[in-house]
Structures are given as structure tokens and as C-alpha cells.
Amino acid sequence: MDDVAEKIIAILRKNMRDPNKEITLDTKLTDLDIESLDLAVIVFDIEDTFGIQIPYNANEEVQDFATVSSVVDRVKAVLAGSHTSNAA
């Protein structure tokens, strides 16, 4: 597991009622009892940690945040995008 994934899992644990649950990349967020309002807090924490902005909309992007790996992928995509735009 890489650095981005480890940081994201640490953020998930910080916002879970039971932080000792096992988390892998395939774990579904719903299995961690993470609900929509929790997710808003988690996305905020991720933005703060990585210094990025994720225009996440709770009304339509549920699939992008279904599993741990989907969150990691989304963050990596934003990170890659922000590096590109910095270079441009």
C-alpha cells in the first residue's frame, strides 16, 4: 500500500466510530458505517491533508466514493491534475 492510501486510511480511521475495524483497499465505506455526512467530513480532511480541492457532490458521485480504493483513485487523479496544472 502506498503513501496516499495509507494517509487516506488514517483519515478514515480518525472519523470512524470503531477505528479498529480491518480496512483494505477493497473495503466498502458502508461496511465501515461511513454515511453521507461522515463522507463530507472525510473529504474535507483529505483536502486539508493533501492541499487539494475535490469538488465532490453528495448527490451524484456516490460511486466514486464507494470503496477505499475508489477514494484513493479519485485523490490520485486530483493530485495528478493539480500537478499538471501547476506545470502548465
Give the residues lining the site for another protein (CB under 8 A): 35-37, 39-40, 43-44, 53, 55-60
* Distance in Å, CB of 22 to another protein, minimum: 26
The Cα–Cα gap between 39 and 46 comes to 10
Give the contacts of 72 (CB within 8 A, at least 6 positions apart).
4, 5, 8, 25
CB of 74 to another protein, least distance (A): 13
Between 37 and 88, CB nearer to another protein: 37
DSSP assignments along 1-21, one per residue:
--HHHHHHHHHHHHT-SSTTS
> 20 vs 57, which CB is nearer to another protein?
57
- Quote the least distance from Cβ 1 to another protein, whole Å: 27
Nearer to another protein, 25 or 49 (CB): 49
End-to-end CA distance of the chain: 30
